[in-house]
Each structure stands twice: as structure tokens, then as C-alpha cells.
């Protein structure tokens, strides 16, 4: 008779890892802080858990998911870390008593993706002059302090300092690298992003500085109601809703070096010049200091009311993120 060997199993009440008591007590203080702030609900706490700090992180993630709902284009992350008075992160091997002084919260995009929006914007511009430009303006303006987007018009602005030494075209950069050697100049011109390539990649109303005047809110409202194309009506309605939101410049990260904390790359066509400019910007940024966060703040662990204030202030940002996400999904036809 064959007897199957039974592998030993731990009871569910036995923790899978052991947190030193000095660290567990400090982590419990963070949990108490979040409970007082109303950031942790009873349903967020599992029946069995090892570390109160991990429960706090999961509770923050659950709250964000409840507020945002399902998204099509974005994959935001929010992280919470407890730090001591010196700004350090105590470890399990620490022998001294642990006392947290504050919590650090930061957020950003897990993995930015490319979304081609040129066809939809050109169709809107044909239907109503200035509509495509208005959509780009609102996308860039309203995402700036909430969920920054790398848009085609931003790519046109970035070109100057990434390739052209801050000038309007590539001639000064060619002078510095090649001098009067025409063969070298032409070879370098062929490889780099030039004024001609930029002008050929986007409509004039995207590149123009200052760009074409945007539509008024009244014109957007008429388009949202009267446009013959249902998609154009939906896009105009989303843009109008975004334009009416008031977003304070809060929680901006402390930028040291190049900022690359973008939530998505809005290209004109699939893998077009926008993507190349973005990739080159990233490569340049990673050679020195850079910032890839969208927002951050510090909250004293004895100030749960400040945590409640942050959660309240984030609700308009969550609404903005939902609108941006839906608008990009519609402009890109979900591709």
C-alpha cells in the first residue's frame, strides 16, 4: 500500500516572517496614525498579517484603487514609507529602539506607454478649426501638476535644448561639432533631428509658437452638443470637463536635474519623431540627476489631520486622472 507523504504546513495564525518587537511597535504607530486619519478601513485589514507597515501600504493601494476605478491607459503607483527623525529608513537589523517621525508618500507611473493621437486630433481640427489645438493645450495644461504627459507640442519644445543648443534649428550645433566640414555636417544632419524633420512630422498648428488660439469653452460646449460625430462630441465633453477643473500647484516633487516623470507618451503616429525625442531625453537625463516622480509629500506621524487633508486634495486629482485616461483612450481609439 502506497502512503502519500504529507508535507508539513504552518497554521494560518503563524506569521510567515518575524518582525523584531522594536520595529513592530514602530510600524504599529504608523498603522495607528492611518486609522486616526481614516485612511485604513476595517475591510482593508487581512485576517492574518505579519507586518503592520505592509498592511498600511496595502490599505493605501486599496484606497487609490477605489478612488480611481478602472483605467485604460495609466498604471499609477503610490508608495508609503515611514522614516525616522533623521530621514532614514530603519531596518530589521537595527539594534536601537525605532521611532518614526513622519511618513513619505510619493506617486508616479509604473510604465509609461505610447498612444498615437494624431489621426483623431487632425479629424477634430478638420471638423472645427482650433479644436485639435484646444485638446492639446488642455491635455498639457491640466496634466502638468497631476499626471504630466509628453505631448507632441512638448516634444517640439524639447527639441531645441536636446539637439540644437537652445536655438531654433540645428545650425549652431553643427557649427560646434563640425565647423566648415560639409561632409561631416551633412552626415550629422542626416542622423540628428533637424528643423526640416520636425516641420515634416507635425501639422503647422502643433509647431507654431505661439500656437493657434484655443476654442472658447462656449465653442467646446457647442461641439459637445452639436457635433455630427459621436466620438467628437465625447472628446469635446471630456476636454470641457478638464478645462473647468481648478488644480492647485501642490505636492510637486523636489526636482533635481531633468524631469522625466511622465505618465504617457502621446505620439502623432506610431513610433514617430515624438518617441525618438522622448527616448533621447530619457537617455540624456539618466546620464546625470533626474526626477521621475509625479508628486510627493511628508506628513508628521502625529498629524493625522494632515493625512486627511491630503486625501481630500487628491480627489480632484483622481478626477483629473480619470478624465485624462478616458480622453487619451478615445483619441487613440484604445490602441
Q: Which residue would you say has higher pLDDT here, 221 or 320?
A: 320
User: Whose CA is closest to 30, among 79, 107, 96, 100?
Assistant: 100
Q: What is the pLDDT of residue 40?
A: 76
Give me the count of residues in the chain.
335
Q: Which residue would you say has higher pLDDT here, 122 or 84?
A: 122
User: Whose CA is closest to 52, among 27, 18, 80, 20?
Assistant: 27
Helix or strand run (H / E) with residue 2: none
Q: What is the pLDDT of residue 110?
A: 93
Percent of the chain residues topping a pLDDT of 90: 55
Angle between the 118-127 and 230-243 helix axes, to the nearest 10 degrees? 100
Q: Per-residue pLDDT for 39 more than 90?
A: no
C-alpha cell read off for 49: 498579517
* For range 42-50, the mean pLDDT: 66
pLDDT category at 334 given cuts 50, 70, 90 is low
For 91-106, the pLDDT digits (tens) are: 555 566 678 889 999 9
User: Whose CA is closest to 153, among 198, 105, 93, 109?
Assistant: 198
- Cell 486616526: give the residue: 36
8-state DSSP, 4: P
For 116-170, the pLDDT digits (tens) are: 999 999 999 888 888 898 999 999 999 999 999 999 989 988 999 899 999 999 9
Q: What is the pLDDT of residue 18?
A: 47
Q: Per-residue pLDDT for 52 more than 60?
A: yes
User: Whose CA is closest to 320, among 39, 66, 109, 67?
Assistant: 67
Q: Which residue would you say has higher pLDDT here, 286 or 25?
A: 286
Percent of the chain residues topping a pLDDT of 70: 85
Averaged pLDDT score across all residues of the chain = 86
Q: Is residue 122 a contact partner of residue 132, using CB atoms and an 8 Å limit?
A: yes
Extents of the domains making up the chain? 114-290
Give CA angle at 196 (190, 199), nearest 5°: 140
Amino acid at each position: 500500500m502506497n502512503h502519500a507523504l504529507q508535507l508539513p504546513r504552518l497554521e494560518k495564525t503563524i506569521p510567515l516572517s518575524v518582525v523584531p518587537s522594536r520595529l513592530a511597535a514602530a510600524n504599529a504607530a504608523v498603522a495607528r496614525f492611518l486609522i486616526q486619519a481614516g485612511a485604513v478601513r476595517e475591510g482593508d485589514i487581512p485576517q492574518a498579517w505579519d507586518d503592520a507597515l505592509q498592511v498600511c501600504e496595502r490599505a493605501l493601494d486599496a484606497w487609490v484603487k477605489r478612488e480611481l476605478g478602472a483605467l485604460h491607459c495609466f498604471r499609477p503607483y503610490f508608495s508609503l514609507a515611514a522614516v525616522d527623525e533623521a530621514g532614514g529608513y530603519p531596518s530589521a537589523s537595527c539594534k536601537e529602539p525605532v521611532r518614526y517621525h513622519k511618513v513619505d508618500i510619493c506617486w508616479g507611473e509604473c510604465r509609461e506607454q505610447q498612444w498615437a493621437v494624431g489621426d483623431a486630433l487632425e479629424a477634430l481640427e478638420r471638423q472645427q478649426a482650433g479644436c485639435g489645438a484646444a485638446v492639446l493645450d488642455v491635455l498639457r495644461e491640466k496634466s502638468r501638476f497631476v499626471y504630466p504627459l509628453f505631448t507632441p507640442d512638448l516634444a517640439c519644445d524639447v527639441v531645441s535644448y536636446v539637439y540644437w543648443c537652445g536655438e531654433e534649428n540645428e545650425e549652431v550645433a553643427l557649427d560646434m561639432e563640425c565647423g566648415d566640414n560639409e561632409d561631416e555636417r551633412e552626415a550629422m544632419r542626416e542622423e540628428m533631428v533637424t528643423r526640416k524633420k520636425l516641420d515634416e512630422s507635425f501639422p503647422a498648428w502643433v509647431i507654431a509658437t505661439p500656437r493657434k488660439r484655443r476654442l472658447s469653452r462656449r465653442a467646446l460646449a457647442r461641439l459637445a452638443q452639436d457635433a455630427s460625430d459621436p466620438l467628437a462630441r465625447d472628446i469635446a465633453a471630456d476636454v470641457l470637463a478638464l478645462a473647468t477643473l481648478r488644480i492647485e500647484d501642490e505636492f510637486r516633487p523636489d526636482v533635481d536635474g531633468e524631469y522625466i516623470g511622465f505618465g504617457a507618451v502621446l505620439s502623432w503616429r506610431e513610433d514617430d519623431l515624438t518617441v525618438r525625442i522622448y527616448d533621447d531625453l530619457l537617455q540624456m537625463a539618466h546620464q546625470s540627476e533626474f526626477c521621475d516622480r509625479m508628486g510627493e509629500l511628508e506628513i508628521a506621524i502625529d498629524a493625522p489631520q494632515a493625512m486627511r487633508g491630503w486625501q481630500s486634495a487628491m480627489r480632484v486629482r483622481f478626477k483629473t486622472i480619470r478624465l485624462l485616461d478616458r480622453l487619451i483612450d478615445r483619441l487613440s481609439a484604445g490602441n
